[in-house]
Chains A and B, each alone.
Chain A
Amino acid sequence: MNIHEFQAKRILKNYGIPVPEGDVASNPEKAKKIAMKIGGNSFVVKAQIHAGGRGKAGGIKIAHSPDEVYQIAKSMIGKKLVTHQTGPEGKLVKKVLVEKGVKAKKEYYLGVVIDRSKEKVCIIASPEGGVEIEEVAEKNPNLIMTEYIDTFLGISDYKARKLAKFLGIPAENIVKNLVRMFFELDCSLCEINPLVETEDGKILALDAKINFDDNALFRHKEIAQLYDPSQEDPRDVKAKKIGISYVGLDGNIGCLVNGAGLAMATMDEILLAGGKPANFLDVGGGASLEQVRSAFSILISDKRVKTIFVNIFGGIMKCDIVATALVQAAKEMEIKVPIVVRLEGTNVELGKKILAESGLNIITANDMREGAKLAVEKAKEFEQEAKNKRGKKKETYV
């Protein structure tokens, strides 16, 4: 799970990592008040969205008076900000972070991640901050130091000293606290980029990004509350509520699949058949009838979807559950688009029987490739028919 920069900075502050003086505002009046409270004549106004690349996209601006802060906040709040990470639709700015302007002498990088290959948490430090760490790794690998953290012991003092020495700043405690935070809050990524040394000798986290392990949110209720649906595709938000795994895409074939691997492979197969998926959807193994029915409702109500392709290879998930859910969803909501179904695995005969007896107009496929081909064909036909209908309407007006 992602959180906003202002939320990440509050967490860092709680862990004893200094951040610039500032606060968050959801309207320009509040932004101005924050600036007046901070005082001085140098402020930074930062749009709060779940994406990087804000600086270049005009989402971070410098102001010299509380009135200017007001103007900038007014121009940002309620608008969508498009950066190279948001996609062309951009992300809605609901809040801005107003901070005291900081004069940085030098920028550094600190990050904590899980090294999947070494199966350890590791901390990465570089005296080359303010740019993407991948870029530094490519151009100047000697400017990066990586230390692995013992899973049971946590970070040793000597490693923190070593990293601080490599950076050349008194950052031992920041390093130790960041690692402690990573373990205690079940993070999957913490990045301070840049960490700066100010002209008056302070060390501050100027920007911060924290991601959390979704699987551990059950024991971090206070973090789970930081979830911000305004930063997500509305279809993803609905799927999250139901508790299924879903990623909205921009094609026109709605997929309902069990298993993440098969769901990805189904998307790949649709592409090879000349079509484009409208989504990734893995109903998972343990989904209830109710969850599968709700999953169907997401596809049915998605206007992009011109054909639904159900691809099930039952293991824990049983084919009869999927079939029953589809029949129930079809009774509750009108399904206008064609449905292609491929069933295999646990309770497949029972599933096929339920579909056959339902009276629904379902196109059955014997395997995934046939299913994908049929789905692509049906989607094209459906779009063509819709076009023809629109065409006819126009004629009658003439």
Chain B
Amino acid sequence: MAILVGKDTKVIIQGITGKNGSFHAKISKDYGTKVVGGITPGKGGQNVDGIPVFNSCEEAISELGKIDAACIFVPAPFAPDSIIEAADSGIPLIVVITEGIPTIDFMKAKEYATRKGSRIIGPNCPGIIVPGECRIGIMPPYIFKRGIVGIVSRSGTLTYEAVWQTTKEGLGQSTCVGIGGDPIVGTKFVEVLEMFEKDPETKLIILIGEIGGNAEEEAADFIKNKMTKPVVAFIAGRTAPAGKRMGHAGAIIMGRAGRWQDKVEKLKSAGVYIAESPSEIGKLAKEVAQKHNLI
């Protein structure tokens, strides 16, 4: 078991003929993911490394049957429309890699997709992976190893960091979900934590947060009240100055909201193990796994 996706998940790539879309479609396919098609309006009939390209989601579905997940590489000005198209086509999981979508556009797309019953992961995220089964997004495959840790993160590259460390420690991962670095995201920490709590394969969770917003505080409340599995966390941005946007649209301390120390204190009080240094995430996870007799 894992969460959200697996070896039978049928995936289409929206924006497959672009540079990143085609590069990562091929890696996902080689990884064993069922990448059954791609969408680029006006380029239907072509193929990308043997993956058939369609003009629209509707066309793809009439040819391929039910699709389980869409992965969006479409440029920011057009990505919200791709989300709406995927939702209208009844695709239940929409993973948005695109960075730079205007916040109000995404708010609308999310509300619309939610109404249609679709879940969005991202935007501005590295995607989701179940090691050895399914890769949707841009994560570098060689760092993963199937195992007991569920990873959920606002940052792409810090996810890789945690993955690599847990692989080297021999723990491995059950599922890794990059929820994205924007102020508003499709799926929040709490929702993924809830899935990990229910997933028998996941024994321990690593949460990677950063300054800005209050998603970590919400996660702390959930962990305190609803979770039995141990959680290890790292929060980036200890040294970030207030009022400056640190790369991610969502990583900004506004007034007194979104500060590093508040997040860390709240997580600590919820019983979360805090990694002080980003290089200690794997080591701490191993210690916690031993302490809780998980390995």
* Interface residues of A, Cβ cutoff 8 Å to B: 85, 114, 116-117, 119-121, 132, 134, 151-152, 183, 186, 188, 213-216, 218-219, 245, 247, 249, 257-272, 277, 280, 282, 284-286, 313-316, 344-346, 367-369
Contact = CB atoms under 8 A, between A and B. Distances in A.
Interface in B236-293: 236-241, 243-251, 255-256, 276-279
Contact of B238 (A215, A262, A268): A268
Interface stretch (B53-61, B84-92, B205-213): B205-213
Which of B107, B160, B183 gathers the greatest number of chain A CB atoms within 10 Å? B160
Contacts of A213: 102-104, 249
B22 to A, nearest CB: 12
State which size class the interface on B falls in: 35 or more
A215 B97 CA distance: 15
Contacts of B211: 264
B284 to A, nearest CB: 13
Contacts of B164: 313, 344
Contacts of B208: 261
Contacts of B20: 285-286, 316
B138 A215 contact: no
B158 A259 contact: yes
Chain A, interface SS category = mixed
B99 interface: yes
A315 B97 CA distance: 11
B155 interface: yes
B35 to A, nearest CB: 17
Interface in B60-105: 76-77, 97, 99-105
Interface in B135-166: 138-140, 143, 153-158, 160-161, 164
Contacts of B138: 285, 315-316
Given A216-B105, A265-B234, A266-B278, 10 more contacts: A119-B111, A152-B111, A213-B249, A260-B155, A262-B155, A265-B278, A268-B277, A272-B276, A369-B277, A369-B278
Contacts, number: 177
Nearest to B258: A116
B107 A120 contact: yes
B184 interface: yes
A117 B161 contact: no
Interface SS, B side: loop
Contact of A285 (B102, B156, B215): B156
Contacts of A260: 155, 181, 210, 246-248, 251
A44 B233 CA distance: 51
Interface in B153-205: 153-158, 160-161, 164, 181, 183-184
A264 B236 contact: yes
A245 to B, nearest CB: 4
A276 to B, nearest CB: 8
B239 A268 contact: yes
B256 A134 contact: yes
Contacts of A117: 213-215, 218
Interface string B101-139: 111110110110000000000000010000000000011
Nearest to B159: A261
Contacts of A152: 108, 111
A261 B277 CA distance: 13
Contacts of B251: 260-261, 264
Contacts of A257: 157
A116 B250 contact: yes
29 contacts: A114-B103, A117-B213, A151-B111, A188-B103, A214-B245, A247-B241, A258-B157, A260-B247, A260-B248, A261-B153, A261-B154, A261-B181, A261-B208, A261-B210, A261-B251, A262-B155, A264-B210, A264-B211, A264-B246, A264-B247, A264-B251, A265-B155, A265-B158, A267-B240, A269-B277, A269-B279, A280-B247, A315-B138, A345-B140
